[in-house]
């Protein structure tokens, strides 16, 4: 899938060295807007200020676990795809993470290339879900506009203009002869 925009990425890990390595790697790759945090509290503060496409959380951090962060973060931004990283992974923890809304669960150590691939896949999934929602909204709008009657070329043009103007919050002037049903 070809990206139309850069990925807004949040990296959260209390290990300064590993976090710096990840930030450096993603920043060098290009195509990423990277923000990092060293704790769950810092990550939640960042989430209040801005939205992210993908987030990567360490599972074990002081103050709050990655699972606790995942739950709070997904409540704030359900559309963001979250990957969890851990050096102490169990199947039970992975299942719990998935139930809480994690996109993927990676066990350390792993090549950073694997993390890049997982972030790319998570972003693709994020964009597909977003596109799906937009298409559903468009379909509902079209279904609701079907209450209007008319199939002539002139009416199709009216429907097209309504569809273009609909998302706008600008005032629209409708002109025409008196008695024409403006």
Q: Are 165 and 158 in contact (CB under 8 A)?
A: no
76 lies in some domain = yes
Q: In terms of pTM, does the model score above 0.85?
A: no
Structural domain tally of the chain?
1
181 lies in some domain = no
30 lies in some domain = yes
Supply the CATH number for residue 55's domain: 3.40.50.2300
Nearest CA to 132 among 122, 142, 124? 124
Task: Supply the pLDDT for residue 3.
Answer: 55
Q: Are 14 and 25 in contact (CB under 8 A)?
A: no
User: Tens place of pLDDT for every residue, the chain, 182 residues?
Assistant: 455 568 999 999 999 999 999 999 998 888 899 999 999 999 999 999 999 999 999 998 888 888 999 999 999 999 999 999 988 778 888 888 889 989 999 988 888 889 999 999 999 999 999 999 888 888 877 766 556 677 788 877 887 888 788 777 778 888 888 887 76
What order of strands is seen across the sheet that includes strand 81-86?
32-37, 7-12, 54-58, 81-86, 104-107
35 lies in some domain = yes
Q: Determine the structural domain holding residue 34 and report its residue range.
A: 7-134
Q: Tell me how far apart the alpha carbons of residues 97 and 103 are, in angstroms, rounded to a whole number.
A: 8
149 lies in some domain = no
37 lies in some domain = yes
């Amino acid at each position: 899938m070809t990206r139309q925009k850069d990925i807004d990425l949040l990296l959260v890990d209390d290990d300064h060295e590993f976090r710096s390595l990840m930030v450096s790697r993603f920043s060098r790759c290009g195509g990423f807007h990277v923000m990092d945090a060293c704790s769950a509290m810092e990550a939640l503060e960042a989430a209040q200020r801005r939205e992210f496409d993908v987030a990567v959380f360490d599972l074990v951090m002081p103050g709050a676990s990655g699972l606790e962060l995942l739950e709070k973060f997904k409540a704030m931004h359900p559309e963001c795809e979250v990957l969890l990283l851990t050096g102490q992974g169990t199947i039970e923890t992975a299942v719990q993470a998935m139930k809480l809304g994690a996109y993927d669960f990676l066990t350390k150590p792993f090549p950073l290339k694997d993390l890049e691939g997982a972030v790319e896949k998570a972003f693709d999934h994020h964009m597909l879900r977003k596109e799906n929602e937009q298409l559903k909204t468009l379909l509902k709008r079209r279904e609701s506009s079907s209450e209007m009657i008319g199939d002539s070329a002139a009416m199709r043009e009216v429907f097209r203009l309504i569809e273009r103007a609909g998302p706008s919050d600008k005032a629209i002037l409708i002109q025409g002869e008196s008695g024409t049903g403006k």
